[in-house]
A and B are shown apart, each in its own frame.
Chain A
Amino acid sequence: MVFKLAWRNLWRNRRRTFITAGSVVLAVVLAVFMRSLQEGVYEKMIENVVGFYTGYVQIHKKGYWEEKTLENSFEAFPLISKAANQDDRVSATVPRLESFLLVAHEKTSQVAQIVGISPEEENSLTHLAAKVVEGHYLAPGQRAVMVGEGLADKLNLQIGDSLVLFGQGYHGVMASALLPVCAKLKFGSQELSNQISYVNLDVAQNMFAAPDRLTAYALNLSSAGSEKSVTKQLRSELPDEYEVMDWREMMPELVQSIESDRVGGYFTTGILYLIIAFGIFGTALMMIKERQYEFGVLTALGMKRGLLSQVMSMEMILMGMLGVLVGLAISVPLVIYFHYNPIVITGAAAEGYAAFGIEPIIPTAINPSLIFKQGLIVLGMTLLISIYPVVKIFQINPVEAMRV
């Protein structure tokens, strides 16, 4: 009876029901789309930053992240790559040996970051080959160097020119090499472009007198979001002398900036919800006012206030559910569409994005829990608002109500 009465009451004033349900639809669509867009931006940002260099997870010798020196390198230990590779969630294990050296060409020299890489594996994580703007990508075993465009400009380097590398290797041994430039690389970050150089891993190991040694394994994952569990798993499997860090630990400033931005998003969504809540509350007020006489009659006839409250609450819930369901039916395809057809940023904003090595697109995140959470919030809000009519019904005096 409660459902039947509530459902039919809902359609007594179709226009009001449509307007209220419509405002709920709008709230759900806007909230889902805004939050999905926001999370999509974060996902893209993380994907870009992680894919740019660090990877989702890194394994180092304990203390390396605090003090990045060759003294904190470790021997490439098969157990590490085995542990990582056996995990289905890990799609690539990328070895690196990196340090700083003085690089020189003709009369110019400067300090550069030298990264020894396994070209194919590195490319699977950072898509380094796509950053080659001149020359060719480093071949496995090739004794050559790829330099950032900025560094090449500073040293006036052309493809085929020889670059002198000089400095300190492992255990203070002198490190030096003379390598031809095989490629210039373009990075969004000017800072990186001005200082980074890549050589084959064995070349770096020989140059630094650190055979078989690495400073890091960078891991790529099959899907974002599993980094915490992968990190936990590896920590439990690897000996204590190694440190396993996920991107959150390596880039706390990125986490912080996302979190503070997310709070801004919550605030905006909160305001949206508040506006909609007032709309629904207005409807509840109107319903109470318009039907006061009817409530008086029903109470006079012997309908208990509890039952009457149930009918009223059910009306509010049905109206909320109607809005939420329609809202979800509209917003899910919308979110899916914009996930696969992201909003493309153009002009100066796009250049700004590119400068930070981030693709100038804004996709939506397909996150079912995020989508349904918005629906649940609106439903919860409707439930909360329905407390008011319930309170009013419990205060009804049939004689006064029928005097209206």
Chain B
Amino acid sequence: MNIIHIQTLSKTYDGVVEVHAVDNVSLSIEQGEFTAIVGPSGSGKTTLLNMIGGLDSPTSGHIKVEGTDITSLSKNELIDFRLQNIGFVFQSYNLIPVLTAQENVEFVMLLQKRNKEERHKRTMELLEAVGLGGLQAKRPNQMSGGQQQRVAVARALAPKPKFILADEPTANLDSASTANLLDIMLELNRKENITFLFSTHDQRVIDRARRVITLEDGKIVSDVTRDRANAE
């Protein structure tokens, strides 16, 4: 089942020279995919991800998430849409520095106005799932980069999103933390059928993705799907 359907999506930046960051891209992402968007710097990975996440608006084309055309939503509707449907993992973790790991994970559910018991239960489950059980009272500055990124994954999963967008999630992590994070993400993908879509340069991530979409100059130049055994 297609969870994301992109039709002839383009993003052009006006300037002295017109830049086509994303150029006439069409693709579909199915529920449960573990997809990497790769390509050199400036190929349009992040722009594409931002548009899929409703953070940026396309110059033309449409993005449908489970049938909802997000390109027609207003700013406020987009904020609500993101809150209910998309989990984000950023390159530099971007946890709220004044909140503990537990509060960071609970934060998005709080925005969703979920009750306290539900929030607490899910937070503890997620922290356990990302291997951070017992570290719930730590603040971001008391955790390593890998731990922070795992909290970010837990936070992204907390609102029970339809899919997770991760922009260069391993860029600031060492090898061990990268491997650990990928294990966790793949485990969640396998067990709970969570859809992951991430941009990356990291060969370690590319090697473990089951679908690899390569962008160059804003265009898809290859779209390769591997079977699970080959990917992992």
Contacts and interface: CB of A to CB of B under 8 A. Distances in A.
A302 B111 contact: yes
Interface residues of A, number: 21
Chain B interface size, as a band, is 20 to 34
B73 interface: no
Contacts of B27: none
Given A8-B98, A399-B50, A302 B80 contact: yes
B99 A8 contact: yes
A303 B94 CA distance: 14
A297 interface: yes
Contacts of B76: 304
Interface string A362-384: 00000000000000000000000
A1 B83 CA distance: 17
Interface in B43-84: 50, 53, 55-56, 76, 79-80, 82-84
Interface string A285-323: 000000001100111111111010000000000000000
Interface string B101-113: 0000001101110
A302 B79 contact: yes
A232 B128 CA distance: 77
A196 B38 CA distance: 104
Given A5-B98, A8-B99, A399-B56, A297 B79 contact: no
A395 to B, nearest CB: 11
A398 interface: yes
Contacts of A399: 50, 55-56
Contacts of A297: 90, 94
Nearest to B94: A297
A304 B79 contact: yes
A10 B72 CA distance: 38
Contacts of A5: 96, 98-99
B196 interface: no
B55 A301 contact: no
A141 B58 CA distance: 104
B178 to A, nearest CB: 22
A9 B94 CA distance: 15
Contacts of B99: 5, 8
A297 B156 CA distance: 12
Given A8-B99, A12-B97, A12-B98, A300 B82 contact: yes
Chain B CB within 10 A, most for which of A297, A301, A402: A301
Contact of B108 (A11, A301, A402): A301
Contacts of A11: 98
B88 interface: yes
Nearest to A1: B110
Contacts of B110: 1
10 contacts: A8-B99, A12-B97, A12-B98, A297-B90, A300-B55, A301-B88, A301-B111, A302-B112, A304-B76, A399-B56
Question: Which 9 pairs show the lowest CB-CB distances between chains A and B?
Answer: A302-B83, A8-B98, A297-B94, A399-B56, A302-B82, A398-B55, A399-B55, A399-B50, A302-B111
